[in-house]
Structure 1
Amino acid sequence: MTSRSDQYLAMSPAHKMAVAFARILRGAGIEVPLDSVIIFVGALSKVGLENRDDVYWAAYATLIRRHEDTQIFDRAFAIFWDQLIAVDTSTYEQETESVTLLIDGEDTNNDESNTEQIDDDENTITLRFSSVESLREKDFAAYSDAELREAEQFMASLKLAGPPKRSLRLQKTNGKGSRHDIRRTMRAVLRNDGEPIER
């Protein structure tokens, strides 16, 4: 079982920065929910940690929910950014990680030899997806003939509607309910020469 400190050390620089800054904001009295921190990490992965303005606006857009918190946020960000610059920025450079994508259903002999080669490198992440999962993200134009057939089979197996349900408008009522009874209405129309009004 890994401790919290081990999990923190395994985080990327963007994760570490986001968690540290969220703690500072919470300490300053700003409500920062966990989902906002997760979105902030995603924003940092897009904008990077190099440009102060990019990081500021990514943090502001994802972590601030009330306009009243802007002054506190500005002060907290200025202090945090100055401390971040004072720390050796080389510690925040990301290591290169290679990602290997293995799709289930492919030739298993090749998979075994590939996994042996992959295990030698510590910075390699191996991901496995079923063929249906890989088709979900792939563009239709990039499908091979076999993938098109598989996608057609998958789409044919989807149920797009629930079972048919009898409409409440077609059920008999005793005349005192709020539901509409078509049979009773049509009988009244025929009795009253085409007008569904009782005289």
Structure 2
Amino acid sequence: MNELAGTLTGFVRTLRAAGVAADHERAQNLLRALDHLDVTAQDEVYWAGRLTLCAGPDDLPRYDRCFAAYFGGARAAVSRAGTTSVTRHTAAAAEGERREGEAAPATASRTEVLRHRDVARLTDAERAEVHRMLSMLRSGRASRRSRRYESAHRGALDQRRTIREALKKGEVATLRHRRHTTRPRRVVLFVDVSGSMSPYAETLLRFAHALVRNEPRATKVFSVGTRLTAITGELRHRDPGTALNEVSRAIPDWSGGTRLGEELREFLVRHSARGAIAVIASDGWERGDPELLGTQMARLARQAHRVIWVNPHKGYEDYQPLTGGMRAALPYLDDLVAGHSLAAYEELSERLAHA
């Protein structure tokens, strides 16, 4: 039973990554349905999942693709006569393919290796697997105190509520209190899409998609290259593939140069990073004036709650910030972190959660 639950949990996570809103309650409904079905019959598992995990017609194509990919067989197809054509995978057949105790450790080991490998050196299949795991990243967010109040048992005296109740009752019967509410701290993310960052740009944008998906109102994403482009709207699509396609059409300066100083100046004139966590993902190869970049980084540091620079080359032991852009920005950074692997993005997510 535990093995079945683990398999179905992985399938539900795959559906979520594909954009299907398969929450915990739907997953529990699937498990309860399979208690009354033959779990070795693929057609019964297919229809049980389809009826419990899909919320509408838009989910059906995604469900079919994920089911075929996850369980390794064609989905059940209903003919006009009402018969079904299925591919069955029994527990005995699965046991014949591997010796007991080998598959799970091998899969875990492979996943752990992929977590720490440089995404620029992965094969297409390995990169797709890393992107799938990245799409399931649940990034927390540090909170900040807002100006709004909420009622509380302790805290500052809520004079208005106390006086209003006293006027109704004729006496002060109860003292009412209030406290500030909290909100997720904003994150402003700048993703370098220049030629030198092309091996990492797609993975960074998928990380940005995970941030926007988790906190859509508290995340702003811009691409930087030869111009500043706001891409938050494009990243709000639930499906990562659709979001990346929209982003590719929105960015006009793929694989060009980097003029980060000019683009930060444009951002600070038109927008604000006050109280936010500013994250700059770039290798620091600045084609513009490094002195201008230093000036704008100083302005950004005065506005932002924290400034984090993500450099893919930081993941190597012999890395030193020697480029002109990195030397200009370094005095104004709170953190300089790696951005070359899935493990590095998980660490960055933890920093955002505890900044």
TM-score range, shorter chain: 0.3 to 0.5
Structure 1 or 2: larger strand share?
A: 2
Bigger relative CO (Cα 8 Å, ≥ 6 apart): 2
TM-score (norm 2): 0.21
Structure 1 or 2: larger helix share?
A: 1
Structure having the higher Rg: 1
TM-score (norm 1): 0.37
